[in-house]
Amino acid sequence: MKNTSETKSSELNKPHTLERLLDNMHLAIKSKIQHFNKEDVVMIGIHTGGFWIAEKLYEKIGITAPLGSLNISFYRDDFTKIGLHPEVKPSQLPTGLDDKHIILVDDVLFTGRTVRAALNEIFDYGRPASVTLAVLLDRGGRELPIYADIIGQKVTLAKGRQIKLCGPEPLKLVQNKC
Partner 1 sequence: MISKNIQLDEQGRLKHFLSIEGFKRQHLVNILDAAEPFANVHEQAVKKVPILRGKTIVNLFFEASTRTRTTFELASKRLSADVLNININTSATSKGESLLDMLHNLEAMHCDMFIVRHNQSGAAHLIAQHVSPHISVINAGDGCHSHPSQAMLDMFTIRRHKKEFADLTVVIVGDILHSRVARSQIHALNTLGVTEVRVVGPKTLIPTQIKTLGVHVYHDMQTALVGADVIIMLRLQKERMQGALLPSEDEYYHQYGLTEQKLSYAKPDAIVMHPGPINRGVEIASSIADGPQSVILEQVTNGIAIRMAVMSQTLGRSSGGNS
Is-contact 153 3, C-beta < 8 A? Answer: yes
Single residue of 33, 75, 134, 153 touching partner 1 by CB under 8 A: 75
User: Binding string to partner 1 for residues 123 to 152, with x set by CB under 8 A, is what?
Assistant: xxxx--------------------------
Q: String of b and e for 120-155 (b: at least 16 CB within 10 Å)? A: ebbeebbebeebbbbbbbbbeeeeeeeebbbbbbbb
Q: How far is the CB of 98 from partner 1 (least distance, A)?
A: 8
Angle of helix 17-33 versus helix 49-61 axis, rounded to 10 = 60
User: Other C-beta atoms within 10 Å of 172: how many?
Assistant: 14
If the CB atoms of residues 84 and 174 are measured against partner 1, the closer one turns out to be 84
User: Binding string to partner 1 for residues 81 to 120, with x set by CB under 8 A, is what?
Assistant: xxxx-xxxxxx---x-xx---------------------x
Per CB under 8 A, residues contacting partner 1 are: 71, 73-75, 79-84, 86-91, 95, 97-98, 120, 123-126
